[in-house]
């Protein structure tokens, strides 16, 4: 793995002879892993770009994939169904998250913008996902950074993973190109503009107690289990 302070987030890429793929779960086609990155707040009362039941988490992880049939990430961002992003909420725990530990430690060496560090990590990408990947929300939306292309099939997991305040503070110590601290690097929830947010059939939500994602009631639908091929 390689983690980079790109001036507005901590972004992670991997070197692999065959990049991980994600299929199933209602996705139309196979999507190839490109990178994952984080959004966080200046304190633990905010940071995530999605809310669930009105709850905002202190951090959110985004795993970005592009549709394999389009060949490249650059070509995929031009297509309406070009990207599939997995959104993982991260909540504060009293203990360090072992999966995040190598990345959080490496951040101490890349506080200045445009620096990067190699990270030895022998676990699969599933280590950064919640245990239950069958409960998730789905909608068609956009990238959350400029130019905000509306090309993303979003999958937001219902279950969060953990991080300690100590690990979070390593992210908050990163600097932008002007020497300021990288905090509150999230886009606030946006109006859905008649989009529908779906709930996986395996979610605990039902038609009388559907959860709220962002600003809209979710709609229960039949959906296959998301199959993580990582």
Whether this prediction's pTM lies above 0.85 is answered by yes
Q: What is the pLDDT along the chain (230 residues), one digit of tens a residue?
A: 999 999 999 999 998 888 999 999 899 999 999 999 999 999 999 999 999 988 999 999 999 999 999 999 999 999 999 999 999 999 999 999 999 999 999 999 999 999 999 999 888 899 999 999 999 999 999 999 888 889 999 999 999 999 999 999 999 999 999 999 999 999 998 888 888 999 987 655 443 344 444 433 333 333 333 434 44
User: CB neighbours (10 Å) of residue 218?
Assistant: 21
CATH homologous superfamily for 2-190? Alpha carbonic anhydrase (3.10.200.10)
Pairing assessment for the beta strands 161-164 and 116-118 based on DSSP bridges: unpaired
**Which residues are catalytically annotated?**
8
Q: How far is CA 113 from the centre of its chain?
A: 21
Comparing C-alpha atoms, which of 129, 149, 152, 148 is closest to residue 140?
152
Distance CA 19, CA 106 (A): 23
């Amino acid at each position: 793995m390689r983690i980079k302070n790109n001036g507005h987030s901590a972004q992670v890429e991997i070197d692999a002879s065959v990049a991980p793929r994600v299929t199933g779960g209602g996705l139309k086609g196979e999507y190839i892993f490109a990178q994952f990155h984080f959004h966080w707040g200046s304190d633990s009362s905010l940071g995530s770009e999605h809310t669930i039941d009105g709850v905002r988490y202190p951090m959110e992880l985004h795993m970005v994939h592009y549709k394999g049939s389009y060949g490249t990430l650059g070509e995929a961002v031009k297509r309406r169904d070009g990207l599939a992003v997995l959104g993982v909420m991260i909540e504060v725990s009293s203990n360090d998250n072992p999966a995040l530990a190598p990345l959080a430690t490496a951040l101490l060496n890349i506080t200045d913008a445009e620096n990067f560090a190699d990270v030895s990590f022998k676990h699969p990408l599933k280590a950064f996902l919640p245990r239950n990947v069958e409960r998730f929300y789905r909608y068609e939306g956009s990238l959350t950074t400029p130019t905000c292309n509306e090309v993303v099939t979003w999958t937001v997991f219902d279950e969060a993973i953990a991080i300690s305040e100590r690990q979070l503070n390593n992210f908050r110590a990163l600097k932008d190109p002007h020497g300021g601290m990288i905090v509150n690097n999230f886009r606030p929830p946006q109006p859905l503009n008649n989009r529908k947010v779906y709930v996986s059939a395996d979610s605990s939500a039902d038609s009388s107690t559907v959860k709220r994602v962002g600003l809209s009631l979710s709609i229960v639908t039949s959906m296959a289990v998301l199959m993580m091929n990582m």
